[in-house]
Amino acid sequence: MGRRVLLTAWLLLWFAASVRGEEVQARRVLVIHSYGRDMSWTEDVHRGIQDFFAAQDPTLELRAEYLDTKHWTGSPYLDELGGLLRRKLRGVRLDGILLSDNNALDFFLRYLEPLFSQTPVVAVGINGPVNPRLPAHIRVLPEATDLPKTLDLALRVNPQAERVHYLHDGTESGRLLAEEARPFLENLRGARGTAREFRSLREAERFLRGLGSRDVVVLSTFFRDQEQGRGVTPREVAQVLSRASPVPVWSCWTIYLPFGVVGGYMLDPRKVGEQGARLLDLTWRGVLPAERLQPSATGGYYADYRVLRRFGLELHQWPADTRVVGRPPSFYERHRPVLLGAGAVVLLLLGVIVLLAAALRAKNRTLTQRRQMEKLQEEIRAVQEETIDLLGEAIEGRSRETANHVRRVAETAAFLGRGLGLPEQEVLLLRRVAPLHDVGKIAVPDAILCKPGRLDPQEFEQVKRHAALEEELLSRSPRESLSAAAIIAGQHHERWDGAGYPRGLREEEIHLYGRIVAVADVFDALANRRCYKEAWPISRVVESFRDERGRQFDPLLVDLLLEGMEEVLSIQARFPDR
């Protein structure tokens, strides 16, 4: 009797432990994507699925298979892949399956459905009519692009349009979408709509080059160049077609947005993936929502600020809830602390100038007063020059470079200007404004300026932006001196061979002032110590300039520098680092 009780108790404990183990077993979901990971649409759909489950159930195990049908097609490939996945998945427990796009749904029905006939399945991004005889365990979320909203916006922006061209690649998905679009294209008010199939990107590019201002272009799916037998990325398609088109290119998919398409009412693939994951989760809970999503659930109005600027379009023509991408923050937003400080300095200087002007006017009655006026005017000039020097020194001081760096650069630039035969007035102007060549460093963090070593690519990109910043800052003034300073600031990092920044100018496209200060600045940087390097011997500096003659620097200026090395070294001696 006692043995029976013990055996019964042991069996009960074993059963309870087994049940508990089943209860805590994590859910397992398989995602089958029609395309490969090289396609941003697929990656964004998958990211939407991941984000949803990460928030809802962090223990869920998510597996993914990529059919890569953008690059591989045909029955032999699919039969082989289907057989491989059947062997791979046979006996695997799955709590749910997500399918993205039509090819994945067709593949599942043909090869895997018998293995998982009782597993909840959700298919997203499906184009064309849904088969009403699908098995009950498969639910479909059709792709809701809401093309009429994009067409309406495009025609509102271009009310003179007479023709609307709906471009697709002739694949199964492209033709299904074109068929869905046909009723809308045939019922446009004031314009004739046509769905156009292109077997290659080159063919579509040639077609777009022949359009005019009364045409509207809407880009549908274009994933395959059938003429070349290869897949094409959304980036490649949007960049090629937007460059070729004389009118804005519209679309219903955000995957094209950052690469030259103007915008429209666009489908967000992340939201498509998120909606599919949500429907699968609701299916587990026994809640069955409507099969078709409203377009607003996965889409919205988008516009690319850079493309708007390119075509002179106004944002007020878009709906108020439009999301604008690519819009840079205003100059004030980016540099508010600096501008407030600079504004205070400017106000202070303006106050000083106003007071001096008032004093000059009061003492203008006699010759003595006129001499005093001349003296005060000279003093104002000196104050301006000294202010420029002090500003240059303050900027260089942030990067632990001595104040004399800007003096040496100014004097060397003046020497080179005289060597070129520039008028003395231009030489003096060059000498006066050269200290502002690196004023843009005010926006570069100290940690980067003072880094004792080589900058990484991200840090170097941040440093490179200072040239454009300082040009933008200085070019706001109509004064001759600050206009010259803007030229120097924006171009002294350009190279003679075109490999410089920020614009990649080459040879005489670079203003003479920028070429002169480039030579003076680099010579001083090499010949003196910096936080990231020791001073080079003059022989090594000379050898470097000989190597870079005609590459980084204007050959004529390099010759002047090397011929006048005695004078250049005397400038170094007159203004040594402290």
**pLDDT the model gives residue 293:** 43
Torsion sign across C-alpha atoms 111, 117, 121, 127 = positive
Which residues, in sequence order, are CB contacts of 349 under 8 Å at separation 6+?
A: 387
Q: Which two tokens stand for residue 269?
A: 């693939």
Q: Which two tokens stand for residue 555?
A: 């050959």
* Lookup result for tokens 């919205």: 300
Distances (CA, A) of 337 to 342, 344, 537: 9, 11, 40
Distances (CA, A) of 373 to 350, 363, 367, 377: 18, 7, 9, 6
Cα–Cα distance measured from residue 318 to residue 497, given in angstroms and rounded to the nearest whole number: 43
Q: Are the C-beta atoms of 385 and 410 separated by less than 8 Å?
A: no
Within 10 angstroms of residue 3's Cβ, the number of other Cβ atoms is 7
Cα–Cα distance measured from residue 269 to residue 218, given in angstroms and rounded to the nearest whole number: 18
- Stated as kind and residue range, the H or E segment containing 468 is helix 457-474
Q: Which two tokens stand for residue 515?
A: 């070429």
Cα–Cα distance measured from residue 160 to residue 183, given in angstroms and rounded to the nearest whole number: 22
Q: Are the C-beta atoms of 488 and 514 separated by less than 8 Å?
A: yes
- pTM score of the predicted model: 0.48
Each residue's pLDDT expressed in tens, for the chain with a length of 578 residues: 555 545 555 555 544 445 444 445 789 999 999 988 887 788 989 999 999 999 998 899 999 999 988 788 788 999 999 999 999 999 899 999 999 988 999 999 999 999 999 999 999 988 777 788 889 899 998 877 788 999 999 999 999 999 999 999 988 888 888 898 899 999 988 899 999 999 999 999 999 999 999 999 999 988 888 888 888 888 899 999 999 999 999 998 888 888 999 999 988 888 889 989 999 999 998 876 544 444 446 778 999 999 999 999 988 889 998 989 888 876 666 667 877 777 787 787 777 788 877 777 776 665 555 565 555 455 445 545 555 555 555 555 544 455 688 889 989 999 999 999 999 999 888 988 888 776 666 656 655 655 665 666 776 666 666 666 666 667 666 777 778 877 887 888 899 999 988 889 999 999 999 999 999 999 998 988 877 778 899 999 999 999 999 999 999 999 999 999 999 999 999 988 76
**pLDDT the model gives residue 489:** 79
Backbone φ and ψ for 122, nearest 5 degrees, come out as -125, 125
Q: How many helices (H) and strands (E) does the chain have?
A: 23, 14
Which residues, in sequence order, are CB contacts of 65 under 8 Å at separation 6+?
A: 30, 31, 32, 33, 85
Cα–Cα distance measured from residue 118 to residue 518, given in angstroms and rounded to the nearest whole number: 72
**pLDDT the model gives residue 29:** 95
Q: Which two tokens stand for residue 67?
A: 């059919």
Q: What is the dihedral of CA 245, 248, 252, 256, to 10 degrees?
A: 60
Distances (CA, A) of 214 to 117, 192, 313: 53, 11, 15
* Strand duo 323-325 + 28-33: pairing: unpaired
Cα–Cα distance measured from residue 431 to residue 409, given in angstroms and rounded to the nearest whole number: 8
DSSP letter assigned to residue 266: E
**pLDDT the model gives residue 81:** 93
Q: Of 449, 491, 452, which Cα lies nearest the Cα of 468? A: 491
Which residues, in sequence order, are CB contacts of 377 under 8 Å at separation 6+?
A: 360
Burial of residue 503 (number of CB atoms within 10 Å: 0-12, 13-18, 19+) = middle
Cα–Cα distance measured from residue 473 to residue 515, given in angstroms and rounded to the nearest whole number: 20
DSSP letter assigned to residue 438: T
Which residues, in sequence order, are CB contacts of 389 under 8 Å at separation 6+?
A: 403, 406, 407, 435
Q: Which two tokens stand for residue 71?
A: 């690059």
CA angle (133 as vertex; 131, 138 as ends), nearest 5: 80
Measured in residues, the chain has a length of 578
